[in-house]
Structure 1
Amino acid sequence: MQSMYFTEEHHLFRESLKDFLKKEVVPHIEKWEDEGIIERFIWEKFGEMGYFGLAVPEADGGLGLDMFYTVILLEELQKINSGGFAAAIWAHAYLAMTHLNKNGNPDQKKAYLTPSINGEMIGCLGVSEPFGGSDVAAMRTTAIKKGDTYVVNGSKTFITNGVYGDYIILAAKTDPAAGNKGISILIVDLKSEGVSANKLNKLGWRASDTAELAFDNVIVPAQNLMGEEGKGFTFIMEAFALERLIMGINGHARAEYALEYALQYMSERETFGKPINQYQALRHRIADLHADMDMCKQYNYSIAYRLDKGDYVVREATISKLKSTKMADEVAHECLQFLGGYGYIEDYPMARLLRDSRLGPIGGGTSEILREIIAKIVIDKKEYKAPSDS
């Protein structure tokens, strides 16, 4: 089908990626879901294929491709039905690596970005804490300068790749008295003395490792500070738009997969002498769900296009995540119902998809927080500006 966003090169990339995932990833998904560990070899294969470098400039060893290659990667990762595997990949490439890509100096890029592109190192992002998730300014983790090092104390939670990863892009207060102006970003090796990880037992996303991390007098070289002290809050806010749009794209792709599977099942399942896709009540519900999915998809594409052009789309990305993840939850719930008893059986994909989908309205900023951000923009006329404009 013709698209205003996807070129022939995009379509060829999608087909190649689908083939790669089918051959190299899908055969291992059940094992990784059962064990909660994604084996390291697949990271290196992703690196060999260049998938971690899609959005990284060529000057830094990436491919320097437009945003719609990332859209394709996100969409196809959702359609192998392992939200945990997908999360591990995009948390590495678009949470950790985004900070290295945009804010890392040449030495930091050489030490962490290059091996991340190659799949030799796995990164994660540490912002949320046990006593405060979306309230970034209230974080308690500190990084106090001592000579040519920082001493880090505190904790982070809900950290994807936090157990088996190699480094964390860590938000901490270098000036605890300065509020959000005292937050800085440091790169911390997870093998450092004083770092401990507790693996969390989750409802879904079971293939990925999600950690609560503790930092007890962890010594971090001063050269691992990203940018200047006190710039961390700005870096975090800037990256939130991309993270929210990613989760919005995940939502529409997950819903599209659920509908495709349900439609195939309904075409084959017969009751009273006819396929169940011929019952008007079910047909009309499918029509509504498809319409909701497609509206979110087209909206998300338009925001991806604007983000690719350099627009600061904090409002739009917030709307993307709010609406797309809610829609995906509803689609997963309804599609499980379409399968009847088989929807409740783990041998069919819908049970896992329902569990995985439930994190959408929670992670990366809860729907309640997102509504308040939108309300501030719409009602209070608050303006969110790009860091260079503020």
Structure 2
Amino acid sequence: MTIWDTPERRALRTAVEDFTRAEITPHLPQWEDDGELPRELHRIAAEAGFLAIGFAEEVGGDGGDLVDASISTEAVLAAGGSTGLQASLFTHGIAVPHIIASGDDALIDRYVRPTLAGEMIGSLGITEPGAGSDVASLRTRAVRDGDHYVVNGAKTFITSGVRADFVTTAVRTGDDGHSGISLLVIDKDSAGFTVSQRLSKMGWHCSDTAELSFDDVRVPAENLVGEENGGFYLVMQQFVGERLALAVQSYATAQRALDLAVAYARERDTFGRPLITRQVIRHKLVEMHSRTEAARALTRRAVERSLDTPKTDPSLILDAVVAKNQSVACVEHVVHEAVQIFGGMGYMRESEIDRHYRDARILGIGGGATEVMKDLAAKLLGY
């Protein structure tokens, strides 16, 4: 037995798989067509005790740690969910950790607790038309005016930005560079705050993505998260968790794609024999299995280390970066081969593997592009 396979965590895995099959999988094709998830799903997941796994009960969460959250992700994918579903239903995983880390009880009561209860939806606003992985170059400006900040600028590629009730937003309050960045919680109904565009995407169709515009938006100064000009540190601090979560999504998707491919190869006859009897297919499946096992082992080791290692520890940052890149490379290979094994059916929108193929492409971009991650790893390794 490992910490991933205790009786309690086996029960958690089973419960999340059952919930996914009952409440998510039957409706996912329709939500893909709708371009978003129903708000009601957040409440249902919260009532079931699955929405806020990994968040402390003291702030309204369901308790548990990153291992429990990772098991939940594995279970959702294993039962036919998707990373698009994960990104949308669990956007609070990147929207509220900065608020919790700040220790601001008023902000926690106003935004974190109702979000973890499924009553509100939050999102994170960092990426801009001219600044993605290069967070220090963002241009959205917030100027102090008495008891408020006046915000002007734009954000793009914001997950859950269409449905969100608030956006934890990175803004520039000081000079150029990382030292002039702050975080503000901005309510969607603030005057001058508009969803300027709902964005259409290659994948993650059930996850709404938005372009946001801020035109002289007045934000109460009390909505400042942490210290003024201290936002870059808060953002960087949370990247370890986000990258490990994406790594888990990657290897869990690879495992689901492999399982689907094996099942199809067993049932599909070609030239009078099951497809899986062909040596070339068996070799593909073995390679898919090997890469998935390696990515899972690497990521789980990093997840375990994160439980008792400061998020600012360079060795943990390196582990998260390497785990993400390795898992992304794994899932990109596995979904490609899975579609090939499915043949024409794999190219049909009605097949589940089609969704995983499209959804997997964003995993090497979000949370830090693969190339940026390699450069960061080189620096951490002293190369």
Give the TM-score category using the shorter length: over 0.9
Task: Answer yes or no: is 1:316 the counterpart of 2:319.
Answer: yes
- How far 1:351 moved relative to its partner? 1.4
Quote the Cα distance in structure 2 between the aligned partners of 1:168 and 1:345. Answer: 36
User: Equivalent residues in 2 for 1:184-333 (5 A)?
Assistant: 184-197=182-195, 198-312=197-311, 313-333=316-336
| 8 Å Cα contact 2:114-2:120 kept in structure 1 | yes
Task: Answer yes or no: is 1:344 the counterpart of 2:347.
Answer: yes
The aligned amino acid for 1:202 is K
- How far 1:61 moved relative to its partner? 2.3
| Secondary structure, counterpart of 1:163 in structure 2 | coil
Unmatched 5+ stretches in structure 1 = 381-390
The aligned amino acid for 1:121 is M
The aligned amino acid for 1:113 is V
In structure 2, the partner of 1:386 is none
Quote the Cα distance in structure 2 between the aligned partners of 1:300 and 1:321. Answer: 7
| Secondary structure, counterpart of 2:21 in structure 1 | helix
In structure 1, the partner of 2:177 is 179
Quote the Cα distance in structure 1 between the aligned partners of 2:155 and 2:77. Answer: 26
The aligned amino acid for 2:356 is L
User: Equivalent residues in 2 for 1:1-390 (5 A)?
Assistant: 2-79=1-78, 80-92=80-92, 94-175=93-174, 177-197=175-195, 198-312=197-311, 313-380=316-383
Q: After superposition, what is the alpha-carbon deviation per residue over 1:172-205, rounded to whole angstroms, capped at 9, x for unaligned?
A: 1111x25211111111111211111111010000
In structure 2, the CA distance between the partners of 1:296 and 1:333, relative to structure 1 (3 Å rule), is same
| 8 Å Cα contact 1:10-1:68 kept in structure 2 | no
| Secondary structure, counterpart of 1:120 in structure 2 | coil
Q: After superposition, what is the alpha-carbon deviation per residue over 1:308-357, rounded to whole angstroms, capped at 9, x for unaligned?
A: 12343111111111111121011001000001111111111111111111
| Secondary structure, counterpart of 1:124 in structure 2 | strand
| 8 Å Cα contact 1:52-1:116 kept in structure 2 | no
- The TM-score normalised by the length of structure 1 is 0.94
Moved more, 178-187 or 195-204: 178-187
- How far 1:379 moved relative to its partner? 3.4
| Secondary structure, counterpart of 1:159 in structure 2 | strand
- How far 1:104 moved relative to its partner? 4.3
Quote the Cα distance in structure 1 between the aligned partners of 2:18 and 2:3. Answer: 24
| Secondary structure, counterpart of 1:309 in structure 2 | coil
| 8 Å Cα contact 1:57-1:64 kept in structure 2 | yes
| Secondary structure, counterpart of 2:207 in structure 1 | coil
Question: Aligned residue pairs: how many?
Answer: 377
After TM superposition, the runs of 4+ consecutive aligned structure 1 residues lying more than 4 A away are: none
Moved more, 61-70 or 184-193: 61-70
Q: After superposition, what is the alpha-carbon deviation per residue over 1:116-160, rounded to whole angstroms, capped at 9, x for unaligned?
A: 111000011111111010111110011111000000111111110
- The TM-score normalised by the length of structure 2 is 0.95
- How far 1:231 moved relative to its partner? 1.0
| Secondary structure, counterpart of 1:52 in structure 2 | coil
The aligned amino acid for 1:181 is S
| Secondary structure, counterpart of 1:323 in structure 2 | helix
In structure 2, the partner of 1:383 is none
Q: After superposition, what is the alpha-carbon deviation per residue over 1:273-328, rounded to whole angstroms, capped at 9, x for unaligned?
A: 32111111111121111101100001111111111123431111111111111210
| Secondary structure, counterpart of 1:359 in structure 2 | helix
In structure 2, the CA distance between the partners of 1:44 and 1:4, relative to structure 1 (3 Å rule), is closer
| 8 Å Cα contact 1:199-1:209 kept in structure 2 | yes
Report the aligned-residue RMSD: 1.3
| Secondary structure, counterpart of 1:171 in structure 2 | strand
Q: After superposition, what is the alpha-carbon deviation per residue over 1:85-109, rounded to whole angstroms, capped at 9, x for unaligned?
A: 11112322x1012122222411101
Quote the Cα distance in structure 2 between the aligned partners of 1:121 and 1:100. Answer: 15
| 8 Å Cα contact 1:56-1:101 kept in structure 2 | no
| 8 Å Cα contact 1:343-1:351 kept in structure 2 | yes
| Secondary structure, counterpart of 1:347 in structure 2 | coil
In structure 2, the partner of 1:387 is none
| 8 Å Cα contact 2:42-2:51 kept in structure 1 | no
| 8 Å Cα contact 1:157-1:211 kept in structure 2 | yes
Quote the Cα distance in structure 2 between the aligned partners of 1:136 and 1:37. Answer: 27
| 8 Å Cα contact 2:299-2:324 kept in structure 1 | no
In structure 2, the partner of 1:388 is none
Moved more, 81-90 or 163-172: 81-90
Quote the Cα distance in structure 1 between the aligned partners of 2:28 and 2:156. Answer: 25
Quote the Cα distance in structure 2 between the aligned partners of 1:310 and 1:64. Answer: 19
Unmatched 5+ stretches in structure 2 = none
| Secondary structure, counterpart of 2:118 in structure 1 | coil
